[in-house]
Amino acid sequence: MSDQIDWAGNLPLYAAAIILGYLLGSIPFGLLITRIAGLGDVRRIGSGNIGATNVLRTGNKKLAALTLLLDALKGTVAVLVAATWGPAFGIVAGFAAFLGHLFPVWLGFRGGKGVATYLGVLIALAWKAALVFAIVWIAIAYLTRYSSLAALLAAVAVPLSLFFWFGPASVAWLFTVMSVIVFFKHHANIRRLLDGNETRIGASG
């Protein structure tokens, strides 16, 4: 993406980008997929989250992988569609998709933690930084078996990689804000990590 982004634009298009992004982001794929598969309400198991990590606690790796893919794609699609109106609209739609996943209107504004959608938006806006995210996540998850720790460290690595290597500055600042939100949404995980009680990948609890 070019370092020069024109933020001037038509307010209705910005509104459309926000609505598009939010509605795509708010689709609760983890909840829908597990219900369709006859596994009940994923919010009633494990962490109560609607994301891929909690879907994995149903014991179905394929459904977890599908949830991860769809939660990422809704961020990517939001950016790519809105970016046809201009790069600034893509950035706005991506952030709205991320917020939609976190605060879906259909679920009383109680959604997931946003990691997959964060990655999907990142793929669309700065794919090289998305590789950094993937490398850090895979390495930390392999070494520690903590999905939450892997996500948190990857969310630190992304803004740094954007500021120092991949830019542009507007995208780097966007992901700085998104990373702060990811940390906020993981506050319970951070407490459990510090206490040594965090659930490891593959565990049922």
Q: Indicate the domain borders of the chain.
A: 11-195
> How far apart are alpha carbons 84 and 97 in whole angstroms?
16
Could you tell me the end-to-end alpha-carbon distance of the chain, in angstroms, rounded to an integer?
Answer: 42
Q: Prior bond to 168 cis, omega within 30? A: yes
Q: Is 69 exposed, middle or buried (0-12, 13-18, 19+ CB in 10 A)?
A: middle
CB 9 within 8 A of CB 83: no
Handedness of CA 37, 41, 43, 47 (dihedral sign): negative
C-alpha 4: how far from its chain's center?
A: 25
Stated pTM of the model: 0.92
E strand intervals along the chain: none
- Structure token pair of residue 122: 């990142």
Tens-binned pLDDT, residue by residue, of the chain (205 aa): 545 676 777 889 999 999 999 999 999 999 999 999 998 888 888 777 888 888 988 888 999 999 999 999 999 999 999 999 999 999 999 999 999 999 999 999 999 999 999 999 999 999 999 999 999 999 999 999 999 999 999 999 999 999 999 878 999 999 999 999 999 999 999 999 999 999 888 665 4
Buried b (16+ CB within 10 A) or exposed e, 119-158: bbbbbbbbeebbebbeebbeebbeebebbbbbbbbbbebb
> How far apart are alpha carbons 134 and 131 in whole angstroms?
5
- Structure token pair of residue 200: 């490891």
Among 88, 116, 92, CA closest to 29: 116
Sequence-separated (6 or more) residues with CB below 8 Å from residue 52: 30, 64, 65, 67, 68, 71, 116
pLDDT value, residue 40 = 86
- Complete DSSP assignment for 60-115: -HHHHHHHHHHHHHHHHHHHHHHGGG-HHHHHHHHHHHHHHHHS-GGGTT-----H
